[in-house]
Amino acid sequence: MPDLPAVAIERLSKSFNGIEVLRDVDLTVNRGEVVSILGSSGSGKSTLLRCINWLEQPDRGAIRIGGQRIGVDDNGRRMPARELAALRAKTGMVFQSFNLWPHLTVLHNVTEAPIHVKGVAKKEAVRTARELLDKVGMAHKMEAYPYTLSGGQKQRVAIARALAMSPEVILFDEPTSALDPELVGEVLGVMKDLSAEGYTMVVVTHEMEFARAVSDQVVFLDKGIIIERAAPEQFFTAPETERVRKFLELKQ
Amino acid sequence: MTEWDIIWAARDDFLYGFANTLVIFALSALLAFVLGCVIVYLLEGPKSGPRTLLRWLINIMRTLPFLILAYLLYYGLPTLGVRLDAWTAGVGALIVYHGAYFAELLRGARVVLPGGTVEAARAYGFTTFTMFMRIILPQLLIRTRPLIGNQLVICLKDTAFLTIITVQELTAAANSVQSTYFIPLEAFVVVIALYWLISICLEVTIKQLGRFGKKRGFEHA
């Protein structure tokens, strides 16, 4: 089913303790596309991203990954845990705080899920992991434990870990927000390479230059509503709403 | 013949008791540890009726004096038609009692385990069981290592209570020798030395295991 979008979100709504954080959000991410989600803190962008792999359960709406509905079926019945896990395995996620597994070496962080979730043979998983760590420039740290790495190195390992699952889509949740300014570049560089290779990516970020250079589509969330969506050139040079104009001015 | 000669002459009794204590301790500590891990796994997930019940059971076990539990299993159960021999009742009591303690100390570590690593596992499609075995439990064990060592020593000392329900372990051997020849000081000094010996071996082993955590940046002190 190559024509189905990687991610299709329809009329998604979510409240926390009676406070609405997402309202009727529609978003389609086609294969090979990079979509950046922008907005100020508390606008709901991380929640939107975390709903995609059901780390947060939306109150209403439907999410499909490669055409397959996640979390509940069309009759509203909850998905069995195993099926949910299997569908999640088709997505990769990169977190703001890296969330590497501290008891495992860099290599094993990358091979862990392929071996124990997907059932990939160990030898093959190791071979793939070597290639991916090489791609993100971390092959020399294969035997190191995460606590010895810098933030930028941790995040590059986390990206390799995501790639190792050959995901249909990679979700990036503010991947550079916890990094020292001088380490941001190395992570964004890797992400740029990935987009050039045709990976499907949904990126929640505050890096405007990155969003402008790499995205196919930019989405702006304000108080849980998508108030603007456009190609990056148009978004950054001729925003339609006052809200976005203000936001971009502050980011200059 | 000095008192120490008497002890030496009775060395087979001591060795028999010592060996029995070692077997009882090794078996009950191992199974209690496994039970603790199983309980913490069962507690994994959202709050539910059965989980609340399990928490209650742990707390009941923890607030019970061990000797009473041993009495209950050995003298109490026959009233309900379950007759266990002293050894089985004693080992059973040690397993459930220390299993509850192991569960509680692992649960404590689980509560404060940074959520990110678990969330990452969930996002990568781990099922609860695989996630527990591969991601959660290893971290809990590294983090609770000193507490586990402590619990093992307490478990070892609790094996001495089993003498009261007639299990022929180390304390029982000492008791028998001291009451036969009336040499309590020497008999109990020997026993203390033997308990120390096991405890020291435990401590050294647990300390060595600290290298796992150090290598991975879990320990700083």
Containing B38, the helix (H) or strand (E) segment is helix B11-42
Contact criterion met (CB < 8 Å) for A100 and B117: yes
CB contact under 8 Å between A95 and B124, yes or no, is: no
pLDDT tens digits for range A61-101: 999 999 999 999 888 899 999 999 999 999 999 999 999 99
Which domains, ranges and CATH numbers included, belong to chain B?
3-216 (1.10.3720.10)
Assess contact for A13 and A25: CB atoms under 8 A: yes
Would you state the pLDDT for residue A3? 74
**B91 touching A (Cβ < 8 Å):** no
Predicted confidence (pLDDT) per residue in A145-159, tens digit: 999 999 999 999 999
Distance between CA atoms of residues A112 and A117, nearest Å: 8
Q: For A159-212, what is each residue's pLDDT tens digit?
A: 999 999 999 999 999 999 999 999 999 999 999 999 999 999 999 999 999 999
Can you state the angle between helices A122-135 and A106-113, rounded to 10 degrees? 120
Mean pLDDT for A239-245 is 94
B9-59 residue pLDDT tens: 889 999 999 999 999 999 999 999 999 999 999 999 999 999 999 999 999
Q: How far apart are CA A138 and CA B35, in angstroms?
A: 40
Nearest by CB to A95, from B116, B125, B135: name it: B116
Q: Is the pLDDT of residue B1 over 80?
A: no
Per-residue CA distances from B85 to A44, A114, A140, B88 (Å):
63, 49, 60, 5
Give pLDDT, residue A251: 81
User: How far off is chain B from A246, nearest CA to CA, in Å?
Assistant: 34
pTM for the predicted model, two decimal places: 0.93
Mean pLDDT of chain B: 95
pLDDT at A124 over 70: yes
Q: What is the tens place of the pLDDT at every residue in B90-107?
A: 999 999 999 999 999 999
Q: Which residues of chain A neighbour B126 with C-beta distances below 8 Å? A: 85, 113, 116-117
Chain A residues with CB-CB distance to B217 below 8 A: 102, 145-148
